[in-house]
Amino acid sequence: MTLEAGASLGKRHLLYSRLSVVSALFGACVDPKSPEAPTTGALAYHAGMFTSSLQSPGRRILLVLLALVVAGCAEEVVEVEPQSSSAALRLGALFDQTGALGEFGRSGESGLRLAVHLVNQAGGVLGQPVEVVLADGATDTEVTVTAATQLIEADGVHAIVGPLGSAAAIAVVEQVTAERRIPTISPTATSPRLSHIADDGFFFRSTASDAAQAPVLADLATRLGFQRVAVLYRDDAYGRDLFQPFQTAFPGEVVGIAIDPERDSYVEELRQAADAGAQAVVAMTFVPAAARYVKQAVEHGLFDQFLFTDGTASIDLVDAVGAEVLQGMKGTAAEGTVPTLTSSGTQDLFTALYSAAYDQPPVTGLEAAAFDIAICICLAAERAGSIDGVLIRDALTTVCGGDGVIIEPGQETIAAALKAVRAGQSINYDGASSTMDWDANGDLKTGLISIWEFSAGAIVGMESVPFES
């Protein structure tokens, strides 16, 4: 089922027939059941998303042509009366398409494009279709900084969704986005340092700080009966800033070992941990490194007990290591970062919406987070009546959080939210991944840390622990 077949969610809405570039120019409709669409990133071939990707001087002419095609091929057209604006809101999707976080970046892109598709179906922002510009951070801090600069200076984005990694987020905010006054919202950067970074209020995140996750992980290790654990952590902002609060919170002994995630072998570090009497290994890295040291620990008979965090809550780890090795192993993650955790009503709504669009459920949880962020930015720009970064920043907490009418994810609810904002009404978008209710530091005011386990090759939620910032 394609996005146009989103009527399976309920009532008929604005259903654009799927268009290819050629059919857009020649006025022919493509079968919406075509197997070509949509996969990750393929929403650019839908009428709404195709227009978002156009960047040539002839864009306005093509928009008119596409509008005529849609008028002739759409099943039903919803009347919208948004304000007109001289320029379109342009979102920078600063996701890691490659490298250790590539799985998460690719899934995040699909969620963001779904959000933009729905917004554009409802008339766009300030009378213009929202545009998306994708950049690959490659799970590398320097590459991500360069990509962020390119997004702003060359591509002219007005807000950025991302980056994913904590180290990259810190560098991007400090070196690029804060001084250029570009709102930047990460779905996954968890370092506690980001709560106090000099960002002039331009950085937000839709996930919990590791200041909230670390105590839950320490308590889980204690409940599992571990009195001495070895922590293998990335020697960067993500690893160090999760290790330190965990070490403080864990009542037993901690053998901390900073590792280079590019190494091929960790046998020496694992032997060091085993000789120190560690009963389990706590993984504070991303999947590629974790896959290597988990396999090496088992193969050399050094460890068979492991604890994991958000960076390794991935089916890719199961594929690399084997379901039998990970069976029953537990971990922690912020609410909404893994789709199979105990879900809320808003998560269920998003899962239905996403599944109708892509013919498969979300894979990593980043789909929902990126969706939520894109919706909040679009609502904020509409509320501000401007695509200026300062005004978008100031409006974010007026549409996400507060005392307005609760808006949940959905094809009709997003259209209703935009209509309400245009009418000057107060709204409060309640996301599928989190509350999207931010404090003065850009942190979530409240949320949940979830405890999960690997079971039969899947990630299964066990319980949720509330936190407050």
pLDDT confidence of 48, banded at 50, 70, 90? very low
Which has the higher per-residue pLDDT, 373 or 461? 373
Query: What single-letter DSSP state applies at residue 330?
Result: E
Q: Find out whether the peptide bond into 57 is cis, omega within 30 degrees of 0.
A: no
**Which residues is 463 bridged to in the sheet?**
451
Identify the pLDDT of residue 58.
40
**pLDDT tens-place string over residues 361-388:** 998 889 999 999 999 999 999 999 999 9
Is pLDDT at 10 greater than 50 in this prediction? no
Chain centroid to CA 150: how far? 21
Question: Ramachandran region of residue 404, left (φ > 0), alpha (ψ -120 to 50) or beta?
Answer: beta
Which has the higher per-residue pLDDT, 86 or 106? 106
Average pLDDT of the segment spanning 332-353: 77
CATH ID of 210-334+447-468, from 3.40.50.2300, 3.40.50.11540, 1.10.150.110, 3.40.50.80: 3.40.50.2300
Percent of the chain whose pLDDT exceeds 90: 73
Identify the pLDDT of residue 318.
96
Identify the pLDDT of residue 42.
36
Integer Cα distance of 91 and 277 in angstroms: 50
pLDDT confidence of 86, banded at 50, 70, 90? low
pLDDT confidence of 345, banded at 50, 70, 90? confident
Average pLDDT of the segment spanning 32-42: 34
Considering the chain, what is the average pLDDT of its residues? 84
Integer Cα distance of 246 and 233 in angstroms: 11
Domain ranges of the chain: 3-208+345-438, 210-334+447-468
Average pLDDT of the segment spanning 192-210: 96
Domains 3-208+345-438 and 210-334+447-468 share a fold: yes
Is pLDDT at 2 greater than 60 in this prediction? no
Identify the pLDDT of residue 14.
29
Identify the pLDDT of residue 368.
93
Range in 82-91, 329-338, 400-409, 432-441 with the lowest mean pLDDT: 82-91
pLDDT confidence of 469, banded at 50, 70, 90? confident
**pLDDT tens-place string over residues 142-194:** 999 999 999 999 999 999 999 999 999 999 999 999 999 999 999 999 999 99
Average pLDDT of the segment spanning 36-56: 37
Is pLDDT at 44 greater than 50 in this prediction? no
Identify the pLDDT of residue 12.
28
Range in 51-60, 107-116, 256-265, 435-444 with the lowest mean pLDDT: 51-60
Identify the pLDDT of residue 348.
86
| Angle formed by the axes of helices 287-299 and 267-275, nearest 10° | 60
E strands along 34-147, which residues?
90-95, 131-136
**pLDDT tens-place string over residues 275-296:** 999 999 999 999 999 999 999 9
Integer Cα distance of 440 and 397 in angstroms: 9
Domain with residues 3-208+345-438, CATH architecture: 3-Layer(aba) Sandwich (3.40)
pLDDT confidence of 339, banded at 50, 70, 90? low
- DSSP labels for 276-314? TT-SEEEEES-HHHHHHHHHHHHHTTS---EEE-GGG-S
